[in-house]
Amino acid sequence: MRSWREETLELTKELVRHPSINGTIGERDIAYHIFEYFRQLPYFQENPGHLLLWKTVGDERERYNVAALVKGVSSSQETVILMGHLDTVGVEDYGKWKRFAFSPDELLAKWKVGGAAPRVTEDLADGGWLAGRGSVDMKSGVAANMVLTRYFAGHREELSGNVLFLVACDEEDNSRGILSAVRDLEHLAREEELSYVGAINTDYTSPRFDGDPARYVYLGTVGKLLPSFFIVGRETHAGQAFEGFDPNLVAAELTRRIDYNPDFCDELYGEVTLPPVSLKQTDLKKKYDVQTPLSAFVYYNFFVHSWSPKDVLERLKETAEEALEDAFDLYRERYRRYCDLTGDPYQTREWPSLVVTYEELFEQCRKLHGTEFEESMRVYAMNLLNEEELDLREYSCRMVEELWNWWDGKGPAIVLFFSSVYMPRVVLSEAEEKDQRMIQSVRKAVERAQPDCPHPIQVRNFFPYISDMSFVAISDDKEGIEALTKNMPAWGTKHQMDVDAIRSLDVPVVNIGPYGMDAHKQWERVEIPYSMQVVPELNYHVIKNLLEPNN
């Protein structure tokens, strides 16, 4: 077995020491740093056109992706992509250790004497861990890819094809890096006559449960949607509460029905997604007064293995109808009990209600108001882009609010839509020849590496976290994607996604990445032996197997 450990470890430390928090100048500067790493190598000095700094398109920030192409000595066009992301989340959670978050050795020393959590202390005792922001998510994975790319640049005779290193920005927010890169990958393939046969992502892996001894390799990835609900009530003075209808009651009922509900777990190949969980629940009042809110806004993280955006819409529209009816029933029941207590006459409240998707409401407004409505919505969407402080979710909500104003209706009502980036699910199937080739390459590599790994290495079908893997292939059909585009108010304005480019790329993708704990948390750390030695070795053999399938 080749020795990858020391070089990968030192390079990981070097990358961690370069802060690259999403949205900061460090995210740009680390791209320059990685570019310079490759520029010093003899291969790229001889082939400068194979080292590329790709500026992101449609991005309000100056950010870059880095690509480094190593061509083998054979004439084969087949190419394996090594993927990763260069940005990290922030460091506010580090508390008193915040100033050491990008200093791995110093941080470990502070933890050892400063009262780290018991599980962290246990891990630190064996000396096999590295800490710091980005250590596991995912600078150790990027380092492994850099080391592999450097190796093949110096051993081109071992390549029966080509390797393309790609590290993207903005994975932690809106995936502008990879969404911009897919077009560049298409262009590069035409220019250099490349045929992409597979992609290996090296994002982090972790235990599936406490005490889990396994290390995981994933074929394909989970998909992620953000179904969102704009809820309209009937405002009233708080002193006349039963003359109105509080949209927060509906929001609470939606959350009761959706939050942690296994009925919304999606099963495929015997693997089950996590259930949805609420990521935001709020009314839309701007300031305090004693009027009840007119509207509310909620959204939920929603993972999928087999369901398309269309499937999710249909399920949640039915749920919304039930939630609105149950909330109204509860309102009436409590109003009746109040009247019984006070002796006031019970007055029937039978307001008409509406549950509708964004697409359905848009079409109704188009029929009512014609081109005036369409042009006004288009102008509103473009003008709203000037409010740069609005994130994608807030932008989408404002678009729905404006649409509701055109409807000029009254609540109670729910408008269902999508308000964030869709992370397409990627399903690898044994029935597809290109997928089967990747699956077999991975299984052979795992079988070869297992004797040198003290932990069982398990192969599963879906990477369970959101990642850039989602943007090199799409498993949804045209109808499923149309349900997304027509129900995402930000589509084509605040959010750009070249579905055709992704379909054209259509690369089988797997995740073989470092193993660690507490990504996005204070105690983020990566296990050195598996992440720095086994992972590069695994990926070395996956590349060899893919490019030499009959070997």
Model confidence pLDDT, tens digit, residues 420-434: 989 999 999 999 999
What b/e readout covers 133-166, taking b as 16+ CB neighbours within 10 angstroms?
bbbbbbbbbbbbbbbbbbbbbeeeeebbbbbbbb
d(CA 511, CA 45): 30
Question: In whole angstroms, what separates CA 528 from the centre of its chain?
Answer: 25
Whether the predicted pLDDT of 1 surpasses 60: no
| Cβ atoms of residues 54 and 67 within 8 Å | yes
Q: How confident is the model at residue 341 (pLDDT cuts 50, 70, 90)?
A: very high
* Mean pLDDT, rounded, for 180-192: 96
* Mean pLDDT, rounded, for 81-91: 97
Whether the predicted pLDDT of 118 surpasses 80: yes
- Residue 130: closest CA among 17, 1, 3: 17
Residue 428 has phi, psi (to 5 degrees) of: -90, 130
For residue 415, the SS3 value is strand
Domains of the chain: 5-222+423-472+507-546 (3.40.630.10), 224-418 (3.30.70.360)
- Residue 359: closest CA among 503, 498, 491: 491
* Mean pLDDT, rounded, for 109-120: 83
Question: What's the pLDDT at 551?
Answer: 63
pLDDT-above-90 percentage for the chain = 90
Whether the predicted pLDDT of 227 surpasses 80: yes
* Mean pLDDT, rounded, for 396-425: 94
pLDDT-above-70 percentage for the chain = 100
The single-letter DSSP state of residue 495 is B
- Residue 202: closest CA among 514, 527, 545, 509: 514
* Mean pLDDT, rounded, for 334-354: 92
Residue type, 114: G
Question: What's the pLDDT at 348?
Answer: 83
Q: In what order do the strands lie in the sheet with 509-511?
A: 51-55, 64-71, 162-168, 78-85, 195-201, 509-511, 215-219, 457-460
Question: In whole angstroms, what separates CA 64 from the centre of its chain?
Answer: 19
Q: How confident is the model at residue 119 (pLDDT cuts 50, 70, 90)?
A: confident
User: Biggest alpha carbon distance in the chain?
Assistant: 91
Q: Supply the mean pLDDT for the chain.
A: 95
Report how far apart the first and last C-alpha atoms of the chain are (Å, whole number). Answer: 18
pLDDT digits (tens, 9 = 90+) for 445-461: 999 999 999 999 999 99
Question: What's the pLDDT at 60?
Answer: 84
Whether the predicted pLDDT of 84 surpasses 80: yes
Lowest mean pLDDT among 120-129, 139-148, 293-302: 120-129
Global confidence as pTM: 0.92
Structure-block tokens of residue 522: 């204070």
Whether the predicted pLDDT of 549 surpasses 80: no
* Mean pLDDT, rounded, for 360-367: 97
